Amino acid sequence: MFKKSSPTVAAVRKEAKRSTGGEPTTPGDNQAAAQRKALLHEVPVDIRQQGRREATQDSAADRPRSN
């Protein structure tokens, strides 16, 4: 049998895996990710989108360019 998971649980696990760099996560990682997601829920959408754009730009700036 497959274990059923809600979209919220799946999102928290995905966030935990992203924050650990793809490494296996612990229940503590999942709990920390759930707390971050709960805090972000209170932040206005436009500010969250701005933060994602800045993070994407920072990540792109750190990558070496291929010609």
- Chain center to CA of 12: 8
Structure tokens at 39: 């805090």
What is the Cα–Cα distance from 41 to 10, expressed in whole angstroms? Answer: 16
Crossing angle of helices 27-41 and 7-19, in 10° steps, is 110
Residue count of the chain, please give it: 67
Q: Closest Cα partner for 36 from 4, 11, 53, 62?
A: 11
At 9 the pLDDT is: 86
Phi, psi of 48 (to 5 degrees): -65, -40
pLDDT digits (tens, 9 = 90+) for 31-67: 999 988 888 778 788 877 777 777 777 777 777 766 5
At 36 the pLDDT is: 86
pLDDT digits (tens, 9 = 90+) for 5-32: 788 888 888 888 988 888 899 999 999 9
